[in-house]
Amino acid sequence: MSPATPIITLGEPLIELSSIDSTNIYAISQVHQQLAVSGSCYRAEFQTQGKGQHGRVWDSEPGLNLLCSYVLELKSLDPSKNWGPNDQKGLSAAVAIGAKTFFQAHAGDETLIKLPNDIYWRDRKAGGILIENTVRGQEWTWTVIGIGFNINQTQFSAEATKPVSLLQITGKQWEIARLQTELSKELTISIQNWLKDGDTATIEKMKPLWKSN
C-alpha cells in the first residue's frame, strides 16, 4: 500500500454535538446523505443509544467521557487503490493501535488491546471501538470509526463489564477536548503507518494482546 500525499488528518473538521442517539448512527446518516467530509469527527457530550460490539449499549454519563465517531472515504487515503472488504482487517488493527497508544500515554504500560477492538487496563475495560463500513458491490467506500473511552466517570451500571476510567486510574480529572485532539493525532499516525507498512505488519504491531487468565 502507498498512502496518498498528503494523507487526510482525522478530526478535521470536528463537529461537536450535545445529546444524540449515537455518534455512529449520526455519522452513517451523514455519509448516506452525502454530507460527510472525509476525516471529520463527530463528538457528543451524551449518547442515548451508544453502540458497542454485538449490539451492546455503551454506558456513559453526560459530559464525562470521550464519545466520538470519525468518517473516512477510502479513496481519500489512496485514490489509485481498489479498496475491498479484505482491506478492513488492516484498518481495524491500525485504529486499535492508535487508540491504545492514546490511552497508554496517560494510563501506562498496563494498557492492552482485547480483540476484537476493546482497550483494557489490567483486566478492566477502559474503551471500545465499533467500526462500521459501507460497501458497494466489491468496493469498500466509507468507514465509520466509533470510539468511546471512560474518562471522568466513576459510577457505572451493574451491566457494565468491569469498567475503569482514566480518572480512576490516575486520580485526576481530564479535559475531554484536549484528549480528543490527542486521540485524533494518534489515529492519524497509526493509519498513516498502516498505509505505509501494510496489513500483516500492522496486525503484528497489535501484540501483546489482553488475555483472560
pLDDT value for 159:
77
HSE-up (13 A, CA, CB side) for residue 185: 10
- The structural domains of the chain, with segments of one domain joined by +, span 14-196
* Residue that is written with C-alpha cell 458497542 in the block: 52
pLDDT by residue for the chain (213 residues), tens only, comes to 554 445 789 999 999 998 888 899 999 999 999 999 999 999 998 877 555 544 455 566 788 999 999 999 999 998 888 999 889 999 999 999 999 999 999 999 999 999 988 999 999 999 999 999 998 888 999 999 999 999 999 998 877 789 999 999 999 999 999 999 999 999 999 999 999 999 999 999 999 998 775
pLDDT value for 50:
54
Give DSSP secondary structure letters for 117-154. TEEEETTEEEEEEEEEEEEETTEEEEEEEEEEE--S--
Classify domain 14-196 by CATH number.
3.30.930.10
